[in-house]
Structure 1
Amino acid sequence: MSLQFHRVALVGKYQDSTSGLVADSTREVIADVAGFLKDQGCEVVLAERTAEATGLRDYPARDVAGIGTECDLAVVVGGDGTMLGIGRQLARYGTPLVGINQGRLGFITDLPLGGYRQALPPMLHGEYEEDHRSLMLGKVMREGECVFEAYAMNDVVVNRGAVASMVELRVEVDGHFVANHRADGIIVATPTGSTAYALSAGGPLLHPLVPGWVLVPIAPHTLSNRPIVLADPVEIVIEIVGGRDASASFDMQSIASLHHGDRIVVRRSDYRVRFLHPKGWSYFNTLRAKLHWNEGGV
């Protein structure tokens, strides 16, 4: 079978979360994966920020637009955060992504670092499962003007301030009033994000093929304010009614100090993220492995 992906971009974790520097082990992993791809017959391109952070100069570097227009595939080395960051940016180009897990959980970077040499070659030759994930577009509207806009693959979160009491949030869906929530905040999550913060806050798991969002209050004052699953064509509006120092986060892209009357508007993006997995990949296998289901049982 002939090689399907000829020009492959390699995207790595930019820096260590504690020191702010790229660890030697990360640089070695990126160099190792790049050399392996080259040995498979691929032309390797490094993401611009990855090249700058690692100091690897043996391969050409491209920015996100260059990767999207010139490369057939992006291989992402890191954790889910690394994948979320590049996935949001490459979605508009339709570039497929493969994740090699160098993080902890790895719900969407599912090739183990120790096993990528066995898993990647068949995928490079066209043997893979393709998985499309929805993307949200969120905006913060203030007095009719957009003051912040970002894409999110996991979730949009409205939170109370660090030292403030709970916030009061008015929620509308497609212009219809739903409820005023007094809580520590509220989460709008995609199926991909249903295994992230929304799960910790008591939300349900959504299969990636479900065309929906999950709306999850965070520590609500009224216990009857429960998570709800919504169809993803709807527009969700969250208005800041009360409370101080509220903030909004779009996959950790944040805007702080929201004002009373600010409206966080969330709708489905026109773009979807393309993930590739090894043949035989199953979402349920991922859940069992990452959530430790059936441990100690049959």
Structure 2
Amino acid sequence: MPRFHHVALIGKYQTTVSGTTASSSREVMEEIAHFLERQGCEVSLEAETAANTGMTHYNVLDADAIGARCDLGLVVGGDGTMLGIGRRLARHGTPLIGINQGRLGFVTDIPLGDYQATLTPMLQGQYEEDSRPLMQARVMRDGECVFEALAMNDVVVARGATASMVELRVEVDGHFVANQRADGLIVASPTGSTAYSLSAGGPMLHPSVGGWVLVPIAPHTLSNRPIVLPDSTEIAIELVGGRDISANFDMQSLTSLLHGDRILVRRSAHCVRFLHPRGWNYFATLRKKLRWNEGGS
């Protein structure tokens, strides 16, 4: 008998992925669903996935119903797909496995071509579990919360494409840190340290590190460097100057900001549970995805 009896299948099919057509993407989802059924699992489809694929012959569930009724979420796509469903299922504690149909895939780490051989033992309970904390962010305006969101990767305050530098006041646990003039500022989790933060010059944080990295984007003063902070702190970013400024959360939701707005970032009470194949480790993922020692022995 499988360790997971009821599996939700989740994918993204509004657009083609890595040259894959929509029709062939549906074929992939159908194939995976049939594989799960052969393993003795009941299969349901996430509502948006069902609408995008036209796979109407499976039970359709929204995120809350998946959290209440399913033992496992199987995500087929890229890291963006995983980020979206991970935030929605975190409060339910539903574990997630990622099959990579995208390009990079730091958290959707099972290659599509290997999914049957990899998933078979995992469905029987042979896996490594990896818990990633979420960030909770609020935008405060005149003492009231006007926007709230969760993020797994990062919270980014940045200027628009044609705007000048943004001026920010940064505090940690109520203590003034610095006024910064830059293109923006990133608050990244360990999961997000290999995303936008990395391209802006930030360090990579191991997922087990209880910390965040604060990374300025193209700072006016070169001594403004990335800094690693404990995730027990609350970071406050106040918009002092600039125009066309917005706050992005995992680059999947955003809100425009006004002068005087404060973005408060703290650790959420919820974590995302990732399941990986036995023998998985973070450094193997870095070697593969970042092509370290490529061509070496």
The answer for the alignment partner of 2:284 in structure 1 is 285
Alignment of 1:141-156 (within 5 A): 141-156=140-155
CA deviations 1:137-176 (Å, max 9, x no partner) are: 0111111111110100000000012211110010000000
Give the CA deviation at 1:22. 7.4
Give the Cα separation in 1 of the matches to 2:273 and 2:16.
Answer: 27
The answer for the alignment partner of 1:53 in structure 2 is 52
**Which amino acid is 1:288 matched to?**
R
Q: Does 1:5 align with 2:7?
A: no
The answer for the alignment partner of 1:99 in structure 2 is 98
Give the Cα separation in 2 of the matches to 1:266 and 1:239.
Answer: 12
DSSP-derived class of the 1:107 partner: coil
**Which amino acid is 2:190 matched to?**
P
CA deviations 1:54-107 (Å, max 9, x no partner) are: 000121010001000000000000000000000000000000000000000000
**Structure 1 residue runs without a partner (length 5+):** none
Alignment of 1:152-167 (within 5 A): 152-167=151-166
The answer for the alignment partner of 2:138 in structure 1 is 139
- Does the CA-based 8 Å contact 2:147-2:255 persist in structure 1? no
Give the Cα separation in 1 of the matches to 2:252 and 2:170.
Answer: 21
The answer for the alignment partner of 1:204 in structure 2 is 203
Cα distance change on mapping 1:17 and 1:146 into 2, 3 Å: farther
Give the Cα separation in 1 of the matches to 2:197 and 2:268.
Answer: 20
Give the Cα separation in 2 of the matches to 1:283 and 1:191.
Answer: 11
Give the Cα separation in 2 of the matches to 1:256 and 1:245.
Answer: 11
- Does the CA-based 8 Å contact 1:22-1:53 persist in structure 2? no
Give the Cα separation in 1 of the matches to 2:254 and 2:68.
Answer: 30
**Which amino acid is 1:156 matched to?**
V
Cα distance change on mapping 1:295 and 1:37 into 2, 3 Å: same
Alignment of 1:33-44 (within 5 A): 33-44=32-43
The answer for the alignment partner of 2:117 in structure 1 is 118
The answer for the alignment partner of 2:215 in structure 1 is 216
Give the CA deviation at 1:17. 6.4
Give the Cα separation in 2 of the matches to 1:233 and 1:256.
Answer: 25
Cα distance change on mapping 1:22 and 1:84 into 2, 3 Å: farther
**Which amino acid is 1:5 matched to?**
F
- Does the CA-based 8 Å contact 1:158-1:246 persist in structure 2? yes
Give the Cα separation in 2 of the matches to 1:120 and 1:179.
Answer: 48
Give the Cα separation in 2 of the matches to 1:97 and 1:184.
Answer: 35
Give the Cα separation in 2 of the matches to 1:45 and 1:186.
Answer: 40
The answer for the alignment partner of 1:73 in structure 2 is 72
DSSP-derived class of the 1:123 partner: helix
Q: Supply the RMSD in Å over aligned alpha carbons.
A: 1.3
Cα distance change on mapping 1:114 and 1:94 into 2, 3 Å: same
**Which amino acid is 1:173 matched to?**
V
Percent identity (aligned) = 71
Give the Cα separation in 2 of the matches to 1:269 and 1:47.
Answer: 24
The answer for the alignment partner of 2:128 in structure 1 is 129
TM-score, normalised via structure 1 length: 0.97
DSSP-derived class of the 1:85 partner: helix
Give the Cα separation in 1 of the matches to 2:141 and 2:231.
Answer: 24
Give the CA deviation at 1:297. 2.4
Cα distance change on mapping 1:84 and 1:22 into 2, 3 Å: farther
- Does the CA-based 8 Å contact 1:187-1:217 persist in structure 2? yes
> How many residues of Structure 1 are paired with residues of Structure 2 in the alignment?
295
**Structure 2 residue runs without a partner (length 5+):** none
**Which amino acid is 1:108 matched to?**
V
**Which amino acid is 1:132 matched to?**
S
- Does the CA-based 8 Å contact 2:13-2:22 persist in structure 1? no
DSSP-derived class of the 2:256 partner: coil
**Which amino acid is 2:134 matched to?**
L
Alignment of 1:247-286 (within 5 A): 247-286=246-285
**Which amino acid is 1:23 matched to?**
A
The answer for the alignment partner of 1:174 in structure 2 is 173
Give the CA deviation at 1:209. 0.2
Give the CA deviation at 1:253. 3.4
